[in-house]
Amino acid sequence: QVQLVESGGGLVQAGGSLRLSCAASGSIFSIHNGGWYRQAPGKQRELVAHITSGDSTNYADSVKGRFTISRDNAKSTVYLQMNSLKPEDTAVYYCNALLKRTYDGAYAGAYWGQGTQVTVSS
């Protein structure tokens, strides 16, 4: 069963930092491209950052210069480093990734992680 396992959320004061991780379960899957989304109470889910298979990245304007998305292909993991956090960054953060099977390179589908809560206090 394919899973994306997220970790790293928590409570932090404004100005602090957190690093989120999103790992594809099992050694037979790699992350082709991936992104982080967030959803605050009463708001729609929005794209925060995205990274392609060629390591091209793009960010929401609200997080540019503060957040960095990266990947470790050997660990089939995508990260989101969040610095200078603000109360308005408070949300549930979800990763989304298109996976490939490592043994034949075939696409295995797009999956969502379970979500991790990030709370930034003022």
C-alpha span between 41 and 112 (Å, rounded) = 19
pLDDT value for 93:
98
Residue 57's φ and ψ, nearest 5 degrees, are -125, 155
pLDDT value for 97:
96
pLDDT value for 77:
95
* CA-based end-to-end distance of the chain: 40
pLDDT, tens digit only, all 122 positions of the chain = 778 999 999 999 999 999 999 999 877 889 999 999 999 999 999 999 999 999 999 999 999 999 999 999 999 999 999 999 999 999 999 999 999 998 998 999 999 999 999 999 99
C-alpha span between 22 and 106 (Å, rounded) = 21
pLDDT tens per residue across span 79-105: 999 999 999 999 999 999 999 998 998
Say which residue the tokens 């992680």 belong to: 113
Query: Which three-class secondary structure state does DSSP give residue 36?
Result: strand
